[in-house]
Amino acid sequence: MENPFVTTDWLADHLDDPNVIVVDGSWFLPTANRRPSEEFLAGHIPGAAFFDIDGIADTSQNLPHMLLRPEAFAAAVGALGIGDGMTLVIYDEAGLFSAPRVWWEFSVMGTPDIRILEGGGPKWRAEARPLETGPSKRQPATFTPNFNPRLVRDFQQVKAALAAHTTVADARPAGRFAGRDPEPRPGLPSGHMPGAANVPALGLVADGKLKPVAELKTMFEAAGIDVKKPVITTCGSGVTASTLMLALKLAGAEDVSVYDGAWAEYGARDDAVVVTD
């Protein structure tokens, strides 16, 4: 996989390019008590559009930020001014936490040129680069989706994959994976899927960047993951699973998909087997 990251210097040089659109994909766990939409209004990279992970979502399901159907996704992002032929540069205000989720959503929809800002908003701000306030001023655009079903998995597909011993990699912290620590969403048991590997997403990131590829490969090998075989990533709600997918692809994996319902769905189902260590 070609490295999708761009530097703050690169973005600063391309801010006035009409074919480059900056996308703020900030999202935080409910326990963080942060409101990314309000933070966007208070200050964001000039020209950016705000991608609301919870708002641009299929709310017909009682699950957090599920992927929209292609036509609805196209309408939502087109209204933000994201259109065909554009280079997307996605960032978040944690450094590198939720931006990969937005990268994955656009990847599923077939967007050909998606980048992620290395270091995200914190690095941009630390370098005293320009910010603007208020809502986005971008004009609506036409976005044409080209849905790629190979990048997303549902519960039944994951259940079949587990039975076939396909690798499932879980990005949640080790304590939640093992069943020692509680889930942040009330009522959900902690634990993991039978046979799943644990690669906590927070361990993949340092200073708003993914760790060097050699380190990533070592981590995957230690977790028993063969990047030459299919891998399904999961987490609590599909956000950090996307970070894990990105890291796997940079490490050479070619067949990687995200379980969109993730533990929010799996852990709540009576027909799902939950294992604790």
Catalytic residues: 235
- Which phi-psi region, left, alpha or beta, contains residue 273 (left: φ > 0; alpha: ψ -120 to 50)? beta
Phi/psi at 203 (5° precision): -80, -10
Distance of CA 160 to the CA centre of its chain: 24
Residues near 33 by beta carbon (within 8 Å), at least 6 away in sequence? none
As a whole number of angstroms, the distance between CA 139 and CA 206 comes to 36
Q: 43 exposed, middle or buried (CB, 10 Å; 0-12, 13-18, 19+)?
A: middle
Q: Which two tokens stand for residue 177?
A: 């994976």
For β-strands 87-91 and 197-198, DSSP reports them as unpaired
As a whole number of angstroms, the distance between CA 130 and CA 106 comes to 26
Label each residue of 145-172 as H, E or C: CCCCHHHEECHHHHHHHHHCCCEEEECC
- DSSP codes, 214-232: HHHHHHHHHTT--TTS-EE
As a whole number of angstroms, the distance between CA 46 and CA 83 comes to 18
Cβ–Cβ < 8 Å for 155, 230:
no
Tokens 């050479």 identify what position? 252
